[in-house]
Structure 1
Amino acid sequence: MTYVVTDNCIGCKYTDCVEVCPVDCFYEGENALVIHPDECIDCGVCEPECPADAIRPDTEPDMEKWVAFNLKYSELWPVIYTKKDPLPDAEKRDGETGKLDTIFSEAPGEGG
């Protein structure tokens, strides 16, 4: 099992999760985070830290696409291990549906 970030992170980018990760397996995009599935040690400490409930175990139904998504972008974006402020519209975007198709950016974040 591994944990992955799903579409509810898009447009929010809360980083409470990166601060507790013992292996620094989070990667930062312009408006989302991902977890490298091969680096995640399945400890689960990040899941309850996410205010947007965007971190899910890959054992849930229909997670294959999110495992592939997380793997792809974790290989393109810089690692993030320091908590940062969420995006300005995070509270408004939390729970919004369809964000992958409407506002997702493939651009990397700053990392760090």
Structure 2
Amino acid sequence: MTYIVNDSCIACKYTDCVEVCPVDCFYEGENMLVIHPDECIDCGVCEPECPADAIRPDTEPDMEKWVEFNRKYSLEWPVIITKKDPLPGAEEMDGKPGKMELFSEKPGEGG
């Protein structure tokens, strides 16, 4: 099992999860985070830390696409280990449907 970040993270990018991760497997894009599925040790400490409920186990239905999505962008984006402020407007975007149209492939700053 591994954990993934889904589209609920887009336009919010809460980073509470990165501080509790014991293996630093989070990677930062311009407007979301991903988890490298091969680096995740399945400890689950990050899942309850996400205010947007964007971190899910890959054992849930239809998660294969999210495992590959997280794998792809974790290879392109920088690692993030330090908590940062959420994106402006994160509270308003939290829980909104259809956020994939807002997704940016651009890397974040990492750190």
TM-score in terms of structure 2 length: 0.99
Contiguous gaps of at least 5 residues in structure 2: none
| Other structure's SS at 1:56 match | strand
Distance 1:25 1:8 in 2: 18
Correspondence for 1:75: 75
Between the two proteins, the alignment pairs up a number of residues equal to: 111
Distance 1:63 1:95 in 2: 19
Q: CA deviation at 1:47?
A: 0.1
Q: How does 1:1-112 map to 2 (within 5 A)?
A: 1-100=1-100, 102-112=101-111
Q: CA deviation at 1:24?
A: 0.2
- Alignment identity in percent? 83
Q: CA deviation at 1:81?
A: 0.2
Which AA in structure 1 matches 2:29? Answer: G
TM-score in terms of structure 1 length: 0.98
Q: CA deviation at 1:98?
A: 1.2
Contiguous gaps of at least 5 residues in structure 1: none
Q: CA deviation at 1:87?
A: 0.2
Q: CA deviation at 1:97?
A: 1.0
Q: CA deviation at 1:56?
A: 0.1
Which AA in structure 1 matches 2:103? Answer: F
| Other structure's SS at 1:45 match | coil
Distance 1:31 1:61 in 2: 25
Distance 1:98 1:27 in 2: 22
